[in-house]
Amino acid sequence: AKRIVLAARPVGEPKPSDFRLEDCPIPTPGTGEVLLRTIWLSLDPYMRGRMSDGPSYAQPVPINGVMEGGTVSEVIASNNPGFAKGDIVLSRAGWQTHAISDGKGLAKIDPKIAPISTAVGVLGMPGMTAYTGLLDIGKPQAGETVVVAAASGAVGSAVGQIAKIKGARAVGIAGGKDKCAYVKNELGFDDCLDHRETDLAAKLKFACPKGIDVYFENVGGAVFEAVFPLLNAFARMPVCGLIAHYNDTQAVAPKWAPAMMRNVLTKRLTIRGFIVSDFAARHGDFLRDMSQWVREGKVKHKEFVTEGLDSAPAAFMGLLKGANFGKQLVRVGPD
């Protein structure tokens, strides 16, 4: 068996030496336990937060601990009456080929309903993040304008497509021509702008002639600065992620923070951070709606797969910089 552990806490951007690949024996399940084999490992931006030990909503990964992560796994041995050999389960097995579980927190996946990898993608945590953040906080109305960055990614792609289903205008922001073309032509957003080109603010103003009613915040940084002046009165801003800042080594308040607060007041803006687990009660609604939209082709999704557990560190470092084009997955073992 193999596992990847956190070798050192990154300073700024994570680097290869912050991870260590280890060989280990395949563990033996005890009474009430199951042995899992990882098929798919999901890589997600939140893992950058787990590598640091600053204050957060979750515990950090300890040094020499297995990197945390959601997986789609197969039960290959079971001493637990709730699970049989051959069951496919959603697990938090982390960056390793094999894991032991007492069954708590495992959810069975029915491979007949959808490809099993979607359980960590469009029908899993990122899809649920898009659904709840947009509908429960953003509350887009027909005819309103919704803007989302990282628009070709796991969360952003679903945000814009759900906005369209609700009758809103969807404008994406993504890195590079290919991603922007995909977001417009394949996902059906009304427009998509490249944040790596110049004059994002002016282009955004042109693409949003009636201003912005919902800004689904995934990135922060220069994108946020371009969006903020265009927010309409009573605009809503679900704050989902700030990926442009995850490698920052210190927090600096911008000089325009007071001007921003003045706008929050005068425009009566709603800015609300959320963690997807806040909306656990909405999981049934999410699965019902999202499965239907995926079946009907109203929500499309794209996977970006690297092969083998060894590829995880490089793929994760790439994810933080936009090297992924779609939901980042690692194929750890055969389906």
Q: In the window 259-278, what residues touch ligand NDP (CB under 6 A)?
A: 274-276
Decide: is 155 part of the binding site for ligand NDP (CB under 6 A).
Answer: yes
DSSP letter assigned to residue 187: T
Q: Which of 245, 224, 233 is nearest to 270 (CA)?
A: 233
- Both structure tokens of 134: 């947009």
Beta-strand relationship, 107-108 and 88-91: antiparallel
Closest to ligand NDP by CB, 78 vs 328, is 328
Min dist. Cβ of residue 57 to ligand NDP (A): 9
Min dist. Cβ of residue 211 to ligand NDP (A): 21
Q: In the window 228-247, what residues touch ligand NDP (CB under 6 A)?
A: 240-241, 243-244
Which DSSP helix (H) or strand (E) runs through 237? strand 231-239
Task: Report d(CA 75, CA 64) in Å as an integer.
Answer: 26
φ/ψ of residue 150, rounded to 5: 50, 45
Decide: is 97 part of the binding site for ligand NDP (CB under 6 A).
Answer: no
Closest to ligand NDP by CB, 87 vs 194, is 194
Alpha helices in the chain, H assignment, sequence order = 46-50, 125-132, 154-165, 177-181, 200-207, 221-227, 257-266, 283-295, 312-319
CA distances from 75 to 29, 100, 221, 230, 239 (A): 11, 10, 42, 51, 36
Closest to ligand NDP by CB, 315 vs 319, is 319
Decide: is 140 part of the binding site for ligand NDP (CB under 6 A).
Answer: no
Decide: is 172 part of the binding site for ligand NDP (CB under 6 A).
Answer: no
Residue 207 carries which side chain, given as an amino acid letter? A
Choosing from 195, 236, 302, 331, the residue that interacts with ligand NDP (CB under 6 A) is: 195
Closest to ligand NDP by CB, 138 vs 241, is 241
Which positions from 54 to 93 touch ligand NDP by CB under 6 A, shown as an x/- string?
----------------------------------------
Min dist. Cβ of residue 142 to ligand NDP (A): 25
157 in helix, strand or coil?
helix
Task: Report d(CA 208, CA 127) in Å as an integer.
Answer: 25
Closest to ligand NDP by CB, 61 vs 243, is 243
Interface region with ligand NDP, contact rule CB under 6 A, candidates 1-9, 38-46, 70-78, 185-193: 38-46
Decide: is 14 part of the binding site for ligand NDP (CB under 6 A).
Answer: no
Q: In the window 285-314, what residues touch ligand NDP (CB under 6 A)?
A: none
148, 179 Cβ separation under 8 angstroms: no
Closest to ligand NDP by CB, 219 vs 332, is 219
Decide: is 152 part of the binding site for ligand NDP (CB under 6 A).
Answer: yes
Closest to ligand NDP by CB, 98 vs 179, is 179
Closest to ligand NDP by CB, 154 vs 317, is 154
Task: Report d(CA 45, CA 316) in Å as an integer.
Answer: 8
Q: Give 331's Cβ-side CA count (13 Å radius).
A: 8
Measured from the Cβ of residue 213, the count of other Cβ atoms closer than 10 Å reads 23
Q: Which of 212, 191, 232 is nearest to 145 (CA)?
A: 212
Choosing from 38, 71, 80, 218, the residue that interacts with ligand NDP (CB under 6 A) is: 218
| Site residues, ligand NDP (CB under 6 A) | 44-46, 126, 129, 149-150, 152-156, 174-175, 179, 195, 218-219, 221, 223, 240-241, 243-244, 274-276, 319, 322, 324, 327-328
